[in-house]
Structure 1
Amino acid sequence: MWIIVDGYNLIRQWPELAMLDRADLQSGREALLQELRGYQRAKRHRVTVIFDGRERGGISGGTEKAGGIEVRYSRQGETADEVIAQLVAKVGAGAVVVSSDREIQAAARRHGAAPLPAEEFIERIEASRIAALKGGDEDDRPQKSGKGTAHRLPKRERREERRLKGL
């Protein structure tokens, strides 16, 4: 599975990282990459993080590797949202796109990728970290009883659910 992350969107949805980001952009980025490296080690997914190059401190464009995480910066005159949309158009259904930005979520759906709000991804990362410490499965959440009115999600939503289950 390929996880494409809207970098600054995820940082600013994560209270601890948002504090670091307000003090220093580089600190926020480094803290995010550290969290993602731990998650990637545990889950073995391909992870690409996209940042706006203009927020990088004047340097724009480029790709680098940071401990197994691919990091891309948008070029001058281009936004991270545009880079994400282009990447999702190439990858399509093989991707999960992490962002709380509605436009990015819509672009992901248009190309068959599964959108995942930043808040939900943060919960998954934290659950994975706790599971690693406990040595168990992070899905120790209580399951629904199955009682009540049967409701089947639309086909597109069921496909997204199946893809997200592997996270």
Structure 2
Amino acid sequence: MREVLIVDGYNIIGDWPELRELKYERLEAARDKLIDDLKEYKAFTGREVIIVFDAHLASGGQSEEVIAGIRILYSKQEETADELIERLVYELLREKVRMHIYVATGDYVEQQVTFGGGALRITARELKTDVKNAKRQIRENVEKQNNTRNVIDDHLSPQVREMFEKWRRG
């Protein structure tokens, strides 16, 4: 079953303490850190990830970019990220494909609206926990692979091992 996670970008940045601190130094750095965290999350969970950022005060239309398979959308002029998220939920549901749509935001009203539209809601705190767990699992899997010996000797029968030992000794 297809799973899509839609993330309210600036809302999550404002909710996660490390991103909120980074935002005050450089907003772009906070966005990049969120994207990096969600790249790992996407790779681990297999969920499609769409991050939506407000750009309603900027001039121009909606813009989109893709980074490591993550769609990053900026709302168009005079449109909020919440409005874009709601529109995305309804567009995805119209595709008539079996899927779960999750919306990650700390905005309670947005959670209710998207839940009413058929999406499942994830709070900012729940997403943070999921991302931390995914990172921990990735780290454990890498450590496990690095600690596993993969030598030919482990796969040889005792007779073949003895024969090689005789050749080695001459």
Does TM, normalized by the shorter one, top 0.5? yes
Structure 2 Cα separation of the partners of residues 72 and 34 of structure 1: 16
Structure 1 Cα separation of the partners of residues 40 and 81 of structure 2: 24
User: Is the 8 Å Cα contact of residues 50 and 73 (structure 1) preserved in structure 2?
Assistant: yes
Distance 1:20 1:59, change over 3 A: farther
Partner deviation per Cα, 1:79-111 (whole Å, 9 max, x = no partner): 001000111122236300000101211112111
- Secondary structure, aligned partner of 1:20: helix
Q: Structure 1 segments of 4 or more deviating over 3 A?
A: 57-60
Q: Give the match for residue 111 of structure 2.
A: 105
TM-score relative to the length of structure 1: 0.75
Between Structure 1 and Structure 2, whose CA radius of gyration is higher?
2
Q: Give the match for residue 92 of structure 2.
A: 91
CA RMSD of aligned residues (A): 1.8
User: Is the 8 Å Cα contact of residues 54 and 60 (structure 1) preserved in structure 2?
Assistant: no
Equivalent residue pairs, number: 135
Q: Which residue of the other structure, out of 12, 16, 35, is the alignment partner of 2:14?
A: 12
TM-score relative to the length of structure 2: 0.74
Shift of 1:41: 0.9
* Identity rate, percent: 30
Q: Which runs of 5+ in 1 are unaligned?
A: 137-167
Following superposition of structure 1 onto structure 2, how do residues 111-150 of structure 1 map, counting pairs within 5 Å?
111-135=117-141
Q: Which runs of 5+ in 2 are unaligned?
A: 94-98, 143-170
Q: Which residue of the other structure, out of 1, 4, 13, is the alignment partner of 1:2?
A: 4
